[in-house]
Amino acid sequence: MIGVKYIKMLVDDIHSASVATIDENGHPQTRIIDMMYYDDKGIYFLTAKGKKFYSQLMEQHYVAISASKDKKAVSLCGDIENIGSQKLDIIFEKNPYMKEIYREDTRHALEVFRLYKASGEYFDISNPAHIFRDEIIIGNAQSDNAGYYVDNGCIGCKLCYSKCPQKCIDISVKPVVINQSNCLHCGNCFEICPQRAVVKKGK
C-alpha cells in the first residue's frame, strides 16, 4: 500500500466522501458515504442491503471515490468486494455515531464493502503557489504514471518553463525535467513545445 498517510487522512480526518457508481441507464451516480475504517487490506465502508447503492456495488464491483477538506483532496478508483458482516463490530466501535443510527439488533441490514485494489492521488492546493500531488496505491493496483514527461527531443529552449504556472520544470538539464509532485497537469508545456518533446502519459 502506497500513501497510507493519505488513506488515514481520508478515513480519520475527511471521513465523508463522494462515491460514484453507474445507474441502470449508464449514467454516473454519486452519494456521500463515510469511510469507516482502513487496514493493510484496504478501506472499508458500508451500506444497507435495501438501497440502490448496494445493488450497484454488488453488480459493478467498482467505485470512484473523491473527498476534500481544507483544499486537500484524495481521489481513488478501484475494485471492491462485499465482506458481509466482517469488520462490522470494529467499524461500530470506531464510529460510535453508527450505534445511534442502527440501534440494537437493526444492524443486520448493513453489509461491509472493502476497497481492496485501487489507484489514485492526493492533491494539495493549500499553498497555491506550490501545489503538491502524490500517488496512492491499494493492493496490487498498477500506477499509470499519469502526467507530462519530456523526451530526448528537447532542445532546451525553455518555452515550457515560461508557460508553466507552477515553475516546476528543471531547466538546468537537457532534456528538461518536469517535477511530477508539483505539476498541475495543465498541458501548457505540451502545447507550447516546438519539438513535440513533451509526452502525455497515463489516463
The pTM of the full predicted model, rounded to 2 decimals, is 0.92
Which helix or strand (DSSP H or E) is residue 138 part of? Answer: strand 132-138
- The SS3 assignment for 79 reads strand
Domains and CATH numbers, the chain: 4-138 (2.30.110.10), 147-201 (3.30.70.20)
Determine the Cα–Cα distance for residues 173 and 184; give it in Å rounded to an integer: 21
Determine the Cα–Cα distance for residues 71 and 149; give it in Å rounded to an integer: 26
Specify burial of residue 31 (Cβ count, 10 A radius: 0-12, 13-18, 19+): middle
- Tell me: the pLDDT tens digits for 85-129? 999 999 999 999 999 999 988 999 999 999 999 999 999 999 999
- Tell me: the pLDDT tens digits for 151-187? 999 999 999 999 999 999 999 999 999 999 999 999 9
Specify burial of residue 106 (Cβ count, 10 A radius: 0-12, 13-18, 19+): exposed
CA angle 53, 54, 59 (to 5 degrees): 100
